[in-house]
Amino acid sequence: NVVDARDVAVGHLLADEAGTVGEQYILGGRNFTFDRLFADLGRLSGVDPPLKVPRPLAAVTAGLVRIGSGLNTLTPAEVLAASQFWTYRSTKAKRELGFSARPHEETLEATVAWYLDREHDRIVPGRRSQALQYRVAGAAISAAEHATSAAGSVLRGLGLGRR
């Protein structure tokens, strides 16, 4: 869910003016997937979306990085939770406060413009965010995961696999 910080600031003022003490309000924008978010960001910035890897591989990798680096990075559970499609609705804030959020495209355009203006020498449009070999590896792992799943379904259907 993407919402502009300017709209959230206005929402806080609306809650202060018209909200009920003790009530909670969700100040959100449009719900959409990470695929859509990264596609929109890529279109606006010229930078390719990040590599998409299967959830199990991402969770295992997060665990290994956390153990191997000694850093306080994402846990496997956090990776799996982030892969879910969480949605939020601002119906109550709209109804009780008069809250509204600008279109997410406007927010993304302003955000990308801000980064390009300040970080232009560190952002290379058209440059792959990952090397080609990682993209190919991700596609191969995804294909293997689907093939393994399909093979398991066939074997179970024949009474040969675990149920």
Going from N- to C-terminal start, the domains of the chain cover 5-51+86-125, 131-163
pLDDT tens-digit profile of 111-162? 888 888 887 666 655 554 445 545 555 555 555 555 555 555 655 666 665 5
What count of other Cβ atoms lies within 10 Å of the Cβ of residue 95? 10
Q: Is the pLDDT confidence value at 104 over 60?
A: yes
Give 30's strand partners: 2
**pLDDT score at 17:** 95
Residue 62 near residue 73 (C-beta atoms within 8 A): yes
Q: One-letter amino acid identity for 101?
A: A
Radius of gyration of the chain (CA): 21
pLDDT of residue 46: 83
- pLDDT tens track for 19-70: 999 999 999 998 888 888 888 988 888 888 877 888 888 888 888 887 877 7
Is 50 exceeded by the pLDDT of residue 11? yes
pLDDT category of residue 5 using cuts at 50, 70 and 90: very high
Cite the DSSP H helix spans in the chain: 5-18, 34-45, 55-69, 76-82, 91-97, 104-119, 132-157
pTM of the model: 0.63
Give the integer Cα–Cα distance in Å for 116 and 126. 13
H or E element, residue 84: none
